[in-house]
A and B are shown apart, each in its own frame.
Chain A
């Protein structure tokens, strides 16, 4: 009886979603989108929001990657919130997994191939993570993927070496410094131009590395922060091993 009820519910939900999605104009001209920004008084008032981003985004933010421009510049507050959520997750895992007397867990040694291979790869993965987040305003990716890649390098060492441990104090310091950088950049915008997270640095020439104002700075901070937070989560979950 329960199963039939669940199945009927799932089908009902599916029908509702299908009806709703049927009205979304996928792949049609952008002018058919509903006009969200009707009352805007500037020259772009006749455009829908996505159209505005694509037309004026490069001029207004200096970034060639529009997703980055939206995530860090137009909608910077959301990203600040996301970073906070991740920070809370890391803190939560840390406090849940905390144990007073640290019981050592015995871990079996892994294969020689795995050990040597992960040692070799570690540096390259870190370099590639750095590449991803420093080029956030030019290529796909950004702070979150870059940070996750860096954390995966540490995860590799954690899995290959029973005794490996990232230094907790250094992790905390880098995490806090990166978070502070983000907030300070935002506050500087508030001081210099009157908006929190205002893009106050010169835009430079699009497609150059040193362009798009504060976006690369913020993405570097996010990359470092996400990397050290995820590493901290992995560290807490691994526990103390022998």
Chain B
């Protein structure tokens, strides 16, 4: 991971915050001069919030906004939503089925993602698709509670759990 200057990270934090602020304050009927006031206050508050938190917010600063990363992130969104719909239906099937076909267990899988935020994103993707839940991350190992343990092999289980997400997240966060 490349080292970036503090100024770069500060500007990145500021940009993110000012965009969020505009989202907070915009409403359809707002007058332009009224919005200008909001925007000025937004600049001041974004600078303050960025001063507090730019060291926490990002390691790579503006490099996070490279077109490659943004493009892969946009591609990731439909993949994630589709996986979520599938997994929800799967859990609904397991709940409604009279025989209740569950085989709960905790499996350990490994990931190649190095950046902490990437690991967080993968963990949250796994948790948000029902049936799997991230319990603990130790270095590159994920401990995952699975509603139906399809496979006890580390590699195979990893493919089934994170296979859909990992290639995308690797492009976004590495």
Contact = CB atoms under 8 A, between A and B. Distances in A.
Interface of A: 111-113, 115-117, 119-120, 122-124, 126-128, 130-131, 134, 157, 207-210
B32 to A, nearest CB: 12
A119 B56 contact: yes
Q: Is the interface of A mostly helix, strand, loop or mixed?
A: helix
B57 A127 contact: no
10 contacts: A112-B123, A113-B124, A116-B116, A116-B120, A120-B120, A122-B57, A123-B56, A126-B48, A130-B48, A134-B41
A127 B49 contact: yes
Interface string B5-49: 000000001001100110011000000001001100100011011
B52 A112 contact: no
Q: Is the interface of B mostly helix, strand, loop or mixed?
A: helix
Contacts of A117: 120
Nearest to B34: A208
Given A113-B120, A130-B45, A131-B45, A123 B137 contact: no
A183 B96 CA distance: 64
B136 interface: yes
B56 A120 contact: yes
B53 interface: yes
Contacts of B17: 123-124, 127
Given A112-B116, A112-B137, A113-B120, A134 B45 contact: yes
| Residue of A111, A123, A131, A157 with highest tally of chain B CB at under 10 A | A123
Interface of B: 13, 16-17, 20-21, 24-25, 34, 37-38, 41, 45-46, 48-50, 52-54, 56-57, 116-117, 119-120, 123-124, 134, 136-138
Nearest to A211: B37
A113 B120 CA distance: 6
B136 A111 contact: yes
A127 B20 contact: yes
Q: Which 6 A-B pairs have the closest CB atoms?
A: A123-B53, A209-B37, A127-B49, A112-B137, A119-B56, A116-B120
Contacts of B56: 119-120, 122-123, 157
Contacts of B57: 119-120, 122-123
A124 B20 contact: yes
Nearest to A134: B41
Contact of A127 (B38, B46, B138): B46
Contacts of B45: 127, 130-131, 134
Given A119-B56, A131-B21, A209-B34, A126 B117 contact: no
B120 A122 contact: no
B117 A123 contact: no
Given A127-B20, A128-B24, 4 more contacts: A124-B49, A131-B21, A209-B38, A209-B41
Nearest to A150: B52
A210 B34 CA distance: 9
A227 B13 CA distance: 21
A87 to B, nearest CB: 22
A116 B117 contact: yes
B20 to A, nearest CB: 6
Contacts of B134: 113
A116 B119 contact: yes
Contact of A123 (B25, B37, B50): B50
Contacts of B138: 112
A241 B47 CA distance: 31
B123 A113 contact: yes
A240 B145 CA distance: 35
Contacts of B116: 112, 115-116
